[in-house]
Amino acid sequence: MATVAIEGMQWGDEGKGKVTDYFASRAEIVVRSQGGNNAGHSIEHAGKRYALRLLPSGILNPNVTNVLADGMVINPIALLDEIKGMKAQGIPCENFIISKRASVLLPYHVELDHVREAALGKAKIGTTGRGIGPCYEDKAQRTGLRMGDLLEPEYLRERLESALAIKNIELAAFGGKTFTVEEIMDSLKEAMDFLKPYIVDTSVFLRKALKENKKVLFEGAQGALLCTTHGTYPYVTSSSPLATAIPNNTGLPLNAVEDVVGIMKAYSTRVGEGPFPTELDGEIAKNIRDKGHEYGTVTKRPRRVGWLDIPQLNYVAGISGIKHVCLMLLDVLDVVDDIYICTKYLIDGKEIDYIPSTVSELAKVTPEYISLPSWKEDISHMTSYDALPEKCKAYIAKIEELTGLEICMVSVGPDKDATIIRKEMF
């Protein structure tokens, strides 16, 4: 395949960063097309650990051009901080370009995110507090600024004046901090000066690359169930993490993505509020959380943990056309005696053959489970499928049987070497 998209099939944090970094050695271009620094992609590379938020996970590979494409929301100050941090870790960070069409995420978006979540009280979404929702709202409202505006300071000032005229009223109404144009311009100065040479029309670059049959990897952020339209609304993010959104978010035609590789954990996690049918609590959840280091990369919040959910995965495979998947964090499940898999959803004792589209209906769902024994031994050093314990292979086979998906990669540890390839996908 010349072009492949990496899509998170659950609620984010499936290990997309590791897979993207793994494939980056074969890619010429890696593209992020939605979301912002709500994403947190941790990568273990050559014995070091990196946490990426805005930069695509191909940044560690100097031969890859990394693209921050049109549909992203970019906080220029956060991006500069991330680049400085990467440089301090010895990564040159010069191999990237930023779309002129990407939205600029500014300090008032962050402030609005906080005051609104506080005002929602118990009904809060549990956002990452990075201003993502307010920035996408401004884009739709047409009061947003775009990265290309940073190249024209006078126009930028005009746009800021009209945006702040509205934003400050809202901020004041919530009792939040208000902003002046000067304050924002000053806070942006260093990042603007640094980023200017990287801001281009990335869609022209990408269309040319496709014509030249370049190998392009599209790295998703978040997960399918966080999609604004198809996820567990309103407990979602404000963009679509689905691969089907990539053409629109990059300025490419529909056939730009040749295959979609789904990334799924061997269990489920979710951060923030919202329904989670297979959620666990107590000792089992704690053991999985500790072994899998299930604490947010961005906010350090403990992640909610649950069993694998087949109806949910089948729903995502259906809307995204996924046939090939990477099964991540399989090594974690040696901490339990029995592994449960939700195979069906029941409402009032009756099986339903669809995923409820409202959270109130989803809350009524009772998951039905089957269980398999865990292998109870360390598999993190195993580098071939044949070497895996029989009970581990049985779990993999059961997932394939219940989903009809082909598990092409099995990940047994955070490190690049802790990867078992069963079929090449890229």
| Least distance (Å) between residue 14 CB and ligand GDP | 5
Per DSSP, the three-state class of 295 is strand
306/294 Cα distance (integer angstroms): 12
226 binds, among ligand GDP, ligand IMO, Mg ion, none (CB under 5 to 8 A by kind): ligand IMO
Among 15, 56, 133, 272, binds ligand GDP (CB under 6 A): 15
β partners of residue 327: 264, 410
Cα within 13 Å of Cα(394), Cβ side: 13
Residues 6+ apart with CB under 8 A from 161: 181
| Least distance (Å) between residue 320 CB and ligand IMO | 15
User: Does the footprint of ligand GDP cover residue 36 (CB under 6 A)?
Assistant: no
DSSP for 261-293?
EEEEESSEEE-SSS--TTB--HHHHHHHHHHTT
Residues 6+ apart with CB under 8 A from 203: 69, 70, 99, 101, 250, 251, 252
21/218 Cα distance (integer angstroms): 12
Among 412, 420, 425, 426, binds ligand GDP (CB under 6 A): 412
Footprint (CB under 6 A) of ligand GDP, residues 245-284: none
> Which range in 9-17, 94-102, 228-236, 384-392 contacts ligand GDP by CB under 6 A?
9-17
216, 208 Cβ separation under 8 angstroms:
no
User: Does the footprint of Mg ion cover residue 13 (CB under 5 A)?
Assistant: yes
> Which range in 5-13, 234-242, 338-346, 383-391 contacts Mg ion by CB under 5 A?
5-13
| Least distance (Å) between residue 39 CB and ligand IMO | 3
Q: Is 230 a catalytic residue?
A: no
Q: Which residues bind ligand IMO (CB under 6 A)?
A: 8, 11-13, 38-41, 125-128, 130, 132-133, 221-223, 226, 237-238, 271-272
For the record, the structure tokens of 366 come out as 């009772």
404, 410 Cβ separation under 8 angstroms:
no
User: Does the footprint of ligand GDP cover residue 14 (CB under 6 A)?
Assistant: yes
Q: Is 13 a catalytic residue?
A: yes
| Least distance (Å) between residue 269 CB and Mg ion | 10
For the record, the structure tokens of 53 come out as 């938020």
- The residue ranges that bind Mg ion (CB under 5 A) are 13, 40, 297
Residues with catalytic function: 13, 41
- The residue ranges that bind ligand GDP (CB under 6 A) are 8, 12-18, 40-42, 44, 292-293, 297, 328-329, 331-332, 411-414
